[in-house]
Amino acid sequence: MTAPRAQELGIIGCHVCGLVCRAPASDDAACPRCGAALHRRRRNSIARTWALLVAAFILYIPANVLPIMRTVSLGDVDDNTIISGVVELWIKGSPSLAVIVFTASIVVPMTKFLVLGTLLASTQRHSRWALRQRARLYRAVEFIGYWSMLDVFVVALLTALVRFGFLSQVEPLPGVVFFGLTVVLTMFASMSFDPRLMWDLSDDD
């Protein structure tokens, strides 16, 4: 690979406005055009991403175990977790939407945990394995991340809509708060990971 990297040329790109600058000597330099802080790499990227990812994973457990929504109709109480909501949608509504909700609530978060964990571990070990594919995986994770908020919005809408007093009523339960937090934390985690670190390999790596 012959294309030069900014680090080798002693230049730095502003992450906000894209201006190419000579790399500053000090750590707290600002972009001359937009005033954003200039960083060669995101600060403490690996440690910060690990911390956010682990926190998100811990919150993902109550998000799945605790019910996210309660339906009360004629005194009948029915609590739904994420997974039982998917099953119900499959049986009573539409299997294709059940697949979408399952993807957004289970597959996407799990994929994020796995992919970011793998990227972090392989970057820490200075691995040269599948670099281009790993770069692509990271971009995919960044792109799909926020769609996980789907189930949170469904619960919010049903809570606001199903208000028929004794006949039928929907309430949010704590699981949905944990799930919302999980999604926000995984988004922060993928933002704090610096994919350039994957490519920062010396010749003896």
The alpha helices in 149-173, defined as continuous H runs, are: 150-161
Integer Cα distance of 166 and 73 in angstroms: 6
Quickly count: other Cβ atoms within 10 Å of residue 69's Cβ: 24
Least Å from the CB of residue 114 to another protein: 20
Q: Which of the residues 95 through 114 are near another protein (CB under 8 A)?
A: 97, 100-101, 104
Q: Binding residue for another protein (CB under 8 A) from 27, 35, 47, 128?
A: 35
**77 is an interface residue for another protein by CB under 8 A:** no
Q: Which stretch binds another protein (CB under 8 A): 4-12, 47-55, 59-67, 108-116?
A: 4-12
Q: Which stretch binds another protein (CB under 8 A): 47-55, 113-121, 122-130, 170-178?
A: 170-178
Per DSSP, the three-state class of 166 is: coil
In angstroms, rounded to a whole number, what is the distance separating the alpha carbons of residues 101 and 80?
14
Site string for another protein, 118-157 (x = CB under 8 A): -------------xx--xx-xx--x--xxx-xxxxxxxxx
Residue with tokens 């109480």: 77
The binder of another protein chosen from 108, 116, 119, 176 (CB under 8 A): 176
Q: Based on the number of CB atoms within 10 Å of its own CB, is 136 exposed (0-12), middle (13-18) or buried (19 or more)?
A: exposed
Binding-site residue total for another protein (CB under 8 A)? 81
